[in-house]
Amino acid sequence: MRNLLLTLRYDGTNFHGWQKQNNADSVQARVEDAFHSVSGKNENVLGCSRTDAGVHANMFCCNVRTDCNIPAEKIPDALNFYLPNSISVYSCREVGFDFHARYNAKGKEYVYLIYNGKYRNPFYENKALYYSYSLDVDLLNENAKDFVGVHDFSAFCSADSSVQDKVREIYECKAERDGDIVKITVKGNGFLYNMVRIMVGTLLDIQNGKIENGSIAQILESRDRSRAGVTVKPDGLYLNKVIY
């Protein structure tokens, strides 16, 4: 038996997230089907995180324990042959048998892309949030830094979440502009349900005056979801890095 660590990139537009489910297309189901076509084996492929419907990944890790003996370096091309073009496996290597893509992750980096031009751009359709009012990146950064550190993120978590411990550490949260694209990067040891989307929505609500400038520390303190901003749509969110 071997344990294979696969790294992939996917355009999440037409998937209901990573997680396998009934009556909805998922990345996990596609990867398990492709693995079955390649190896003849029905294996569970264990992902590093759930991702919401419509969320993308530049780097998503998953592992599969199997006695399939195809050399690791041949597996990406073999899987890509069976996968739809919206999913691409770009690395496969053997790891220790106990390794688990989710439980061994020490941290993750997400990026959220905002298309901040005056008129919408067809090439960012489903790939970025379209926000036409000019964003002030300095103001975004002044507020973004208040997310950094160890905090209870209850106010930045979907009310649907059943997770008990909502304390997470954010290592970095910053905004950068490249032409009409504003990129918000968030790096941390773990993330709650919808957490990055609510963090970005809160930064935008500070920009547009719905939430007071400088109030993120108080919102964190309140643990009250209703005091944070909107949950921005998944289109702009990318799992960008998984740290082991």
Number of residues that bind a copy of itself (CB under 8 A): 22
- Which residues have a Cβ under 8 Å from the Cβ of 30 and sit 6 or more positions away? 15, 83, 84, 87
Examine residue 89 and tell whether it contacts a copy of itself (CB under 8 A).
yes
Nearest distance from C-beta of residue 87 to a copy of itself, angstroms: 6
Q: For residue 65, how many other CB atoms are within 10 A of its CB?
A: 17
Task: Pick the binder of a copy of itself from 25, 44, 70, 88 (CB under 8 A).
Answer: 88
Task: Pick the binder of a copy of itself from 21, 120, 176, 217 (CB under 8 A).
Answer: 120
Q: Considering 52, 152, 165, 205, which one is annotated as catalytic?
A: 52
Task: Pick the binder of a copy of itself from 40, 71, 96, 122 (CB under 8 A).
Answer: 122
- Which residues have a Cβ under 8 Å from the Cβ of 84 and sit 6 or more positions away? 30
Name the phi and psi angles at 164, rounded to 5: -80, -55
Nearest distance from C-beta of residue 42 to a copy of itself, angstroms: 25
CB-CB contact of 78 with 39 (8 Å):
no
Nearest distance from C-beta of residue 126 to a copy of itself, angstroms: 9
The binding track of 27-66 with respect to a copy of itself, each residue x by CB under 8 A or -, is -----------------------------x----------
Cα 190 to the center of its chain, rounded Å = 11
CB-CB contact of 113 with 127 (8 Å):
yes
Task: Pick the binder of a copy of itself from 2, 65, 102, 127 (CB under 8 A).
Answer: 127
Helices (H), 50-136: 75-82
DSSP 21: B
Tell me, yes or no, if 136 is annotated catalytic.
no
What is the identity of the amino acid at 178?
Answer: D
Report, as residue numbers or ranges, the catalytic residues: 52
Residues binding a copy of itself (CB under 8 A) = 9-11, 56, 76-77, 80, 85-90, 117-123, 125, 127
